[in-house]
Structure 1
Amino acid sequence: MKVLGICIVVTLIFSGINCVKNKKVKCYRCTDCPNPFDKTQITELANCNFCRTVYTYRDEDNYRIAKDCVASCVPQDRRGGKAGLVTECCDEDYCNASPKHYSISFLLITSFTIFIIYANKFIY
């Protein structure tokens, strides 16, 4: 049980790395973004902590896209049925150009957590 506790603490420390960072990125900004994406019709911003893309669904095939530069970002899917919001976050230059970007730190944290859970089965 002690090993599991240590692993949880290490995972939390790694997850905090993406929340408190000094690297600034460049992002796209638009309020009713063209789909398919066309970077000639939107604004470019610098000195961002995160790039965010928000999809506002009225139904499955009818949605609006907004892209922005934000200080903090929490990915989420708040669709109740077919309507709602989906927020995507990323932290690399112009990473909010297309959908479904995940930061390397997110993938690292997820992989590490799965490894710890799997390894914990063999320890006890």
Structure 2
Amino acid sequence: MERIHVASAAEVQEGRLLSVQAKGQKLLLSRVKGRAVAVIDRCPHMGMSMARGTVTEGVLICPWHNSRFDFCTGSNMDWASAFLGMSMPKWTHKAIAMGKPPAPLTVVPVEEVDGQVFVSLR
């Protein structure tokens, strides 16, 4: 794996998403309980960017269909419960999911050294 500089430590903030590119790959970074974390910027539901999403207490929420993910592990916590960010009744969730089963985000290893943030990519 190649270690790539993506940001200064000060740029990666709790409760905010930082969108960066490394080796042509779009990533989202944030800080959870003081630790810098990163995921591939691609919702596993429709493949769209989640850069306009929100992150609260370590949970990343997709802006398109409200899928919720643990930012540190990538695990799916709630799958496709909205349309274009608007909550929908529970009976519609299967239709919104388009038959796709819940899937996790891809987490990227992060390292902080001397006030700089690096990711490891293949």
Task: Give the TM-score range, shorter chain.
Answer: under 0.3
Q: Which has the higher strand share?
A: 2
Which structure is larger by alpha-carbon Rg, 1 or 2?
1
TM-score by length of structure 1 reads 0.26
Q: Which has the higher helix share?
A: 1
